[in-house]
Chains A and B, each alone.
Chain A
């Protein structure tokens, strides 16, 4: 049998590892180190220790941002994964119609998030939008959507969900297809069909794909930024002022890079903590092996 030498293995891995190091490890290191620094007006780095973090925790806007980011994620992730799972089951049987819907549902993923943001901001515009045109044609009141403190968060959830459920659906579909059909056959001989088969067979066997989708979706939604930047600007009245947007504003508007990197570091820690929690919740039961 051929056994690769360490040198061969290292040569093949070097490119991937270098990229991983340069594009992942280094930026994280820069962010973490930078979060302990400020900058003088002329650009000299000034060591601030935990100063940036203490300033953040003393700032009401930041604390509200933490809560809003968490609320957004608590709402958007279950909604997206629930819908994606439901759609995956709907298009599971490979009929012609199902194939059409698989493609149709995946399509929003193929346009850029910036374009989708512009599209939805026009659709939901209070004055000129198509949706409000339809509402008033039906005799209903016009809605402010992105311009309303109460509706902006939900409008963003709608946009994000429309954009991404098709993508997550594909992963869950792959998981569903991989469940051997003989398990369902055996179960049906024992009288377990429908809801019972779903809860006792499908759900336990979907743990791995669900865990992957949950962690990846949570990460994506913690970093949700473009629609906030393009449509709401964090408003109305800070209702969509998530941490990612605050990190952006700190650096590019308020010219405070240390604060921005401190927020980025906190987002990183939050994602790490939430992902660890999710791994724990979905850990396979050892008794079921």
Chain B
């Protein structure tokens, strides 16, 4: 009896250890496995197909994963350290996280960094080496509904970056537009719980998001400036009630704006395109991102990068495909199917047509003058998730200093493992 039990335990242990012991290398002859964000075929296939046509002889097995599940799926795929996916999209600030865990191939000698925007190259660099290739960047604008503003007797904000509105001015105007009885809201962030869009609040008041070594947030996200910034954020929902609480879904906020029920919205460049196509009935305009009176203008930036798996058995094919994707031709297709600001410097001069509009003029200014990348820390995934939940609690009315202090503690505990 005793020996049976021992045998059973041994078998169990052996089975449990099996996946650790037998890490089967991918077959070299198998197709290149590429993980891409599932923005829909129309925004993915033209890019991949153009790149495939240029990368002769590379057989690509494409896997698209919806953005809401992309990061978790990638964690699952990378965890066994089996070398797949060979080629994958990386959210810029996660570069350090994947690099620290040995998932990314050092691309320093492969990529000509001078072709790309400097903030994107900085975001792709970890411990002095380039671990991802910049693939896109982003910026934010203040959208306004012209009809609603005129009806409320408000002069529309100027598109001139020198006449940028303050948050205080925005709240005053949004309160005039706000009409709960008709379901009309004054203002909303398009991604109302996303640190990406909300870091600039604290940064505008001069707070830093993380220590210089990227390993501590206590004393940063819970500093007095940060508390002031996120108290302002809370008042949007709780005191002035000009923003709809609990609306975290970007497309729903766009829907609210597109259906004429939202006066102002801070949102990405891609919205210019979707408003024109999907909501032709609404008359809208754009202005520069607001800032706090007495603070500095700060805009969010950063976007997708591309990483190659350090354990891939298909490294040559992966590098060939990467070179094709980073070509001017593919980058141009990418911009046309999903109009985010190009990260390839030359594209601003070659893709002339859209950059003459007011919105694109503002964006170009922001990228050169006010853009601040997300925190450079190998623990960004943990940081972002914990901070997002904290922002939701602040939005819901929880005491700001307590929530920030508790989030800072949790984030510090979660990123302590990156101290080497």
Give chain A's interface residues, CB within 8 Å of chain B: 25-26, 29-30, 32-34, 41-43, 45, 61, 125-128, 144, 146-149, 233-237, 249, 251-257
Chain B residues positioned under 8 Å from A32 (CB to CB)? 16
Closest to A144 in B: B246
Report if B374 contacts A (CB, 8 A): no
Q: Does B272 interact with chain A (Cβ within 8 Å)?
A: no
| Chain A residues positioned under 8 Å from B71 (CB to CB) | 252
Collect the chain A residues with CB atoms within 8 Å of residue B389's CB.
233-235
Contacting residue for B16 out of A26, A127, A149, CB 8 A: A26
B35 to chain A, nearest CB (A): 15
Asked if B393 contacts A237 (CB within 8 A), the reply is yes
Nearest to B183 among chain A residues (CB) is: A127
CA distance A252 to B13 in the complex (A): 24
Give the Cβ gap from B177 to chain A, nearest Cβ, in Å: 15
Question: How far is it, in angstroms, between the C-alpha of A125 and the C-alpha of B244 when the chains are bound?
Answer: 10
Task: State which residues 263-299 of B face A: CB under 8 Å.
Answer: none
Given contacts A127-B247, A255-B75, contact A41 B100 (CB under 8 A): yes
Bound form: Cα–Cα A256–B415 in Å: 11
Chain B residues whose C-beta falls within 8 Å of the C-beta of A237 in the assembled complex: 393, 396, 398
Q: Is B76 interfacial (CB 8 A cutoff)?
A: yes
| Chain A residues in 8 Å Cβ range of B385 | 249, 253-254
With a cutoff of 8 Å between Cβ atoms, the chain B residues found around residue A61 in the complex are 410
Chain A residues with Cβ below 8 Å from B97 are: 255
A194 to B16, CA, bound (A): 56
- Contacting residue for A29 out of B12, B101, B252, B414, CB 8 A: B12
Give complex CA distance A256, B385 in Å: 14
**B245 to chain A: which residues have CB within 8 Å?**
126-127, 144, 147
- B102 A146 Cβ-Cβ under 8 A: no
A147 to B393, CA, bound (A): 9
Residues of B within 8 A of A42 (CB): 101-102
Let me know if B244 and A253 touch, CB within 8 A.
Answer: no
Q: Verify A254–B382 contact, CB threshold 8 A.
A: yes
A residues less than 8 Å from B52 (CB atoms): none
Chief secondary structure at chain B's binding surface: helix
Contact A147 B15 (CB under 8 A): no
Extra inter-chain contacts (16) besides given A127-B183, A257-B79, CB under 8 Å: A25-B15, A32-B16, A41-B102, A41-B417, A41-B418, A45-B20, A126-B244, A127-B185, A144-B246, A147-B246, A148-B396, A236-B396, A237-B398, A254-B385, A255-B417, A256-B414
30 pairs, A vs B, C-beta closer than 8 Å: A32-B16, A33-B13, A41-B101, A41-B417, A41-B418, A42-B101, A42-B102, A43-B81, A43-B101, A45-B20, A61-B410, A125-B246, A127-B185, A127-B247, A144-B246, A147-B245, A148-B396, A233-B388, A235-B389, A235-B393, A237-B396, A252-B71, A252-B75, A252-B76, A253-B382, A254-B382, A254-B385, A255-B381, A255-B382, A256-B417
A249 to B414, CA, bound (A): 11
**Contact: A29 with B246, CB < 8 Å?**
no
Q: Is B392's beta carbon under 8 Å from chain A?
A: yes
Does B72 sit within 8 A of A, measured CB to CB? yes
CB distance from A196 to the nearest CB of B (A): 50
**Closest Cβ–Cβ distance, residue B67 to chain A (whole Å):** 14
Nearest CB of A to B180, in Å: 9
User: What is the minimal beta-carbon distance from B160 to any residue of chain A, in angstroms?
Assistant: 33
Q: Which chain A residues lie closer than 8 Å to B102 at the CB level?
A: 41-43
- Minimum CB–CB distance from B256 to chain A (whole Å) comes to 8
- B392 A252 Cβ-Cβ under 8 A: no
* Residues of chain A with a CB closer than 8 A to B13's CB: 29, 33
CB distance from A259 to the nearest CB of B (A): 10
A148: which B residues are within 8 A, CB to CB?
396
Residues of A within 8 A of B398 (CB): 236-237
Q: Are A25 and B396 in contact (CB under 8 A)?
A: no
For the complex, what is the distance from the CA of A254 to the CA of B379, rounded to whole Å?
A: 9
